[in-house]
Amino acid sequence: MFLVGLSGGIASGKSTVVTVLRELGCAVIDADVIARQVVQPHLKAYQQIVHHFGTEILLENGEINREALGSIIFSQPEKRQLLNSITHPEIQKEMLKQILKYFVLGYRYVILDIPLLFETNRLTKFMKYTVLVYCPRAQLSRLMQRDGLAQAEAEARIRSQLPLDEKRRFATHIIDNSGGRESTRRQVLRLHSHLEDSLDFLWARLAAGTVVVGLGGSCSCYWVSPRCSLPSSQPQQG
Ligand SMILES: CC(C)(COP(=O)(O)OP(=O)(O)OC[C@H]1O[C@@H](n2cnc3c(N)ncnc32)[C@H](O)[C@@H]1O)[C@@H](O)C(=O)NCCC(=O)NCCS
Ligand SMILES: Nc1ncnc2c1ncn2[C@@H]1O[C@H](COP(=O)(O)OP(=O)(O)OP(=O)(O)O)[C@@H](O)[C@H]1O
C-alpha cells in the first residue's frame, strides 16, 4: 500500500476534491475530522487544552468552543504552536490506526487529507505522492464567504499557513481549483487514473511477501501472487 498526501490552504478546495475522490471509491482519511474527535471531553488533548487555555474556551456543555479557540490561535502564533503541540501527536496516532485499518482491508493506496502537511514536513517523507489543491486568487473570497469572516480575520488565517505558492514546490501533483467545479472534477479524474495505474503498491506487497516467504515457506507465495494481480483500488475480497 502507498500513501498519498492531499493538502492546500484554508478554503482552497480540499473537501471539494475529496468528495470526488470518495465518489470514485477512494479511501480518504481527513485530519480535520480527526482533529475534532481527539478534543472530545475527557480525552488527553482536551484536558491539556483546558489546562493551557482556561475554561473560557469551553461551551456550556463542556465541549471546546471552536470559534473562540480559533480566534485565539489564528491571531497569536505562540498559542497556535501550543495548540499544535497538544493536538498533532494525537491526530497522527489516530491517522496511523486508520491507515492500518485500510491496509488490513486490502486497499492499494490511502489518501490523507492533511491541511498542514507541508508545514509539518516530517510527514511528507511517508507519502508516495503529494497533491496540492491550489487556488491563490479565489482563496480569500471563498474563505470569507464560507466562514462569514471579515477580510482581516480571513487574511490572518491564510497568513497562519505557508503560502500556496511555496507549497507548490513540495507537491508532486497540483489541482488548480481557481476555475469552476467541472474543471476541478476533470483534474481529479486524471489524478485518480494515475493513482489507479500506479504499481507502487506492488513493492510493499512484494517486500511483505518476501518476509513471509522467508519465514513461512511455499504457501506464503500463494498469499502474495493473487493480490498482486488484482487491478482495483477497492478492498480485495478473500
Ligand atoms: C482552531 C480550531 C479549534 C478551529 O476550529 P474550526 O472548526 O473553526 O476549523 P476547522 O478545524 O474545521 O479547520 C479549518 C481549517 O483551518 C486551518 N487550520 C486549523 N488549524 C490550524 C492551525 N493550527 N494552523 C494553521 N491552520 C489551521 C486548516 O486549513 C483547516 O482545514 C481547530 O482548527 C483546531 O483545533 N486546530 C488545531 C488542530 C489542527 O492543526 N488541525 C488541522 C488539521 S492537522
Ligand atoms: N471550484 C470552485 N468554485 C466555486 N466555489 C468553490 C470551488 N471549490 C470550492 N468552492 C467553495 O469554496 C469553499 C472552500 O472549499 P472547501 O471547503 O472544499 O475548502 P477546504 O480546503 O476543504 O477548506 P478547509 O481546509 O478550510 O476546511 C467552500 O464554500 C466551497 O463550496
- The b/e string for 5-18 (b: 16+ C-beta within 10 A; e otherwise) is bbbbbbbbbbebbb
Ligand 2: atom nearest CA of 183 is 1
- Give percent of the chain with pLDDT exceeding 90: 80
Least Cα distance to 2 among 176, 174, 197 occurs for 197
* pLDDT band, very low/low/confident/very high, at 10 (cuts 50, 70, 90): very high
Task: Please state the pTM of the whole predicted model.
Answer: 0.87
Statement to judge: residues 181 and 118 lie in one domain:
yes
Question: Residue 161 in contact with residue 116, Cβ under 8 Å?
Answer: yes
Cα separations (Å) of 223 from 130, 237, 238? 30, 13, 10
Amino acid (1-letter code) at residue 229 = S
Closest ligand to Cα 18: 2
Give domain status of residue 121, yes or no.
Answer: yes
pLDDT digit string, tens, across residues 129-146:
999 999 999 999 999 999
Q: What is the pLDDT of residue 192?
A: 97
* Cell 491571531 sits on residue: 75
Q: What is the DSSP letter of 235?
A: P
Contacts of 15 (CB under 8 A, 6+ apart): 113
Kindly report the protein residue whose alpha carbon is nearest to atom 13 of ligand 1.
32
CA 119 to centroid of ligand 1, rounded, Å: 13
Residue 33 lies in a domain: no
Span from the CA of 134 to the centroid of ligand 2 (angstroms): 11
pLDDT tens for each residue of 167-207: 999 999 999 999 999 999 999 999 999 999 987 766 666 66
pLDDT band for 228, please (50, 70, 90 cuts): very low
Q: What are the phi and psi torsion angles at 8 (to 5°)?
A: 170, -170
| Index of the ligand 2 atom closest to the CA of residue 19 | 18
Measured CA to CA, the distance from residue 144 to residue 34 in angstroms comes to 24
- Residue closest via CA to ligand 1's atom 29 equals 10
Q: 212 and 111 share a domain?
A: no
**Quick one: average pLDDT of 64-74?**
96
Nearest bound ligand to CA 19? 2
Please provide the distance, in angstroms rounded to a whole number, between the alpha carbons at the two ends of the chain.
Answer: 17
CATH number assigned to the domain comprising residue 127: 3.40.50.300
> Which atom of ligand 2 lies at the shortest distance from residue 177's CA?
1
Nearest CA to ligand 1 atom 7: 66
Task: Please check whether residues 22 and 118 belong to one and the same domain.
Answer: yes
Q: Which ligand is nearest to the CA of 178?
A: 2
The pLDDT value recorded for residue 198 is 87
- Cβ(106) – ligand 1 distance below 6 Å: no
Mean pLDDT of 101-127: 93
What pLDDT is attached to residue 152?
96
Number of domains in the chain: 3
pLDDT the model gives residue 229: 26
Expressed as residue numbers, the domain containing 225 is 200-238
d(CA 66, CA 153): 15
Question: Strand, helix or coil at 118?
Answer: coil
Query: Which of 64, 83, 104 lies at the terminal end of a domain, its last residue?
Result: 104
| 186 domain-assigned | yes
* 113 in the same domain as 23: yes
Ligand 2 atom closest to Cα of residue 146 = 29
Share of the chain above pLDDT 70, in %: 83
Question: Which 8-state DSSP code applies to residue 58?
Answer: B
Q: How confident is the model at residue 111 (pLDDT cuts 50, 70, 90)?
A: very high
Domain membership of residue 1 (yes or no) is: yes
Atom number, ligand 1, closest to the C-alpha of residue 9 = 29
